[in-house]
Amino acid sequence: MSKIIKEVVDKNVIEGTRYFISLVELGSYTAVKNLYSV
């Protein structure tokens, strides 16, 4: 039972990390785009 919970938590952590990384990349891209458009 606890093994299943751990797998679910690990999956959620991985999904959250991917989401966070994509947000950071999007923010960096927007910042660079704004920098060059000025």
Residue 11 CA to residue 20 CA, distance in Å, equals 14
* 15 has a pLDDT exceeding 80: yes
Confidence of residue 30 (pLDDT cuts 50, 70, 90): very high
Give me the mean pLDDT over the 17-35 stretch.
93
Residue with tokens 């950071």: 24
- From first CA to last CA, the distance across the chain in angstroms is 56
Residue 16 scores a pLDDT above 80: yes
Q: How far is CA 2 from the centre of its chain?
A: 26
Write out the two tokens for 22: 């994509």
Residue 7's pLDDT band (cuts 50, 70, 90): very high
Positive or negative, the CA dihedral 3, 8, 11, 13 is negative
